[in-house]
Amino acid sequence: MTMQSAAPRAKRILMIGAPGAGKGTQAQLIAQQFGVTHIASGDLLRKNIAEGTTIGRTVEQLVNKGELVPDSIIMDMLRKPVLAANAAGGYVLDGFPRTVEQAEAAYRTAGSLGVGVQIAIHLDVPEDELTRRMLARARGADDTVDVIKHRIKVYEEKTRPLLEYYQQRELLIQVNGARPVGEVTWSIVVQLQRAFKQRPAAARTAAAPDRAVA
């Protein structure tokens, strides 16, 4: 079986949420629930930084300042894991796309590869709660108050427009992410199950690349 022949059945989910919204936690739980791979662009970047790879050295300053890293680096870094996950049944993408430009680039690649994202989930959390959570989990250089504020600003300016992008193109699931973890997961699972049942056609991307959405 080739990668592309597995694609039509693959479940492709992406999480959109501000820093501190709980994307990583929920993405991991959702991936487990649906038996697909969790792919987190931020985790992959931090791994590269920790290992001192060429990518890691290039992006370290940007990540520490809460700036986005260049699209080309992200696309190159994600290409292999996304294809492998697609062949293995699907993925939950966490942290990508981060901008409309990235979504459009992914859409073009998806069209030619038969790989796309079919359902976007928005984890909605008010800003004061985001700041509180981020300070509570302070991870290191990228978690000072100024950097946290900057990361939220970058989200508002660059990432929030993605919500409209997905609402217009495919399915966007809205979730109140300010509730306890288990309740949020439950709400996502219920809505995803409903969506997969109602929209089996959304899974046909390899055969119909025009429907491949990322």
Shortest Cβ distance from residue 5 to ligand AMP (Å)? 28
Which span (84-92, 96-104, 108-116, 168-176) binds ligand AMP, by CB under 6 A? Answer: 96-104
Asked if residue 74 binds ligand AMP (CB under 6 A), the reply is yes
Residues 6+ apart with CB under 8 A from 125: 17, 18, 20, 21, 22, 133, 177, 178
Distance CA 149, CA 137 (A): 15
Cβ atoms of 88 and 115 closer than 8 Å: no
Asked if residue 103 binds ligand AMP (CB under 6 A), the reply is no
Shortest Cβ distance from residue 164 to ligand AMP (Å)? 18
In the bound state with ligand AMP, the residue whose beta carbon lies nearer, of 125 and 206, is 125
Distance CA 144, CA 42 (A): 17
Asked if residue 68 binds ligand AMP (CB under 6 A), the reply is yes
Shortest Cβ distance from residue 156 to ligand AMP (Å)? 13
Asked if residue 19 binds ligand AMP (CB under 6 A), the reply is yes
Asked if residue 41 binds ligand AMP (CB under 6 A), the reply is yes
Q: Give backbone dihedrals phi and psi of 79, rounded to 5 degrees, phi first.
A: -55, -55
Asked if residue 37 binds ligand AMP (CB under 6 A), the reply is no
Asked if residue 22 binds ligand AMP (CB under 6 A), the reply is no
Question: Order of strands across the sheet with 37-40?
Answer: 37-40, 90-94, 11-17, 119-124, 171-176
Asked if residue 17 binds ligand AMP (CB under 6 A), the reply is no
H or E stretch at 184 = helix 181-198
- 151 CB neighbour count, 10 Å cutoff: 21
Cβ atoms of 205 and 118 closer than 8 Å: yes
Asked if residue 214 binds ligand AMP (CB under 6 A), the reply is no
In the bound state with ligand AMP, the residue whose beta carbon lies nearer, of 20 and 90, is 20
Distance CA 98, CA 68 (A): 8
In the bound state with ligand AMP, the residue whose beta carbon lies nearer, of 140 and 210, is 140
| Contacting residues toward ligand AMP, per CB under 6 A | 19, 41-42, 45, 62-63, 66-69, 74, 95-96, 98, 102, 151
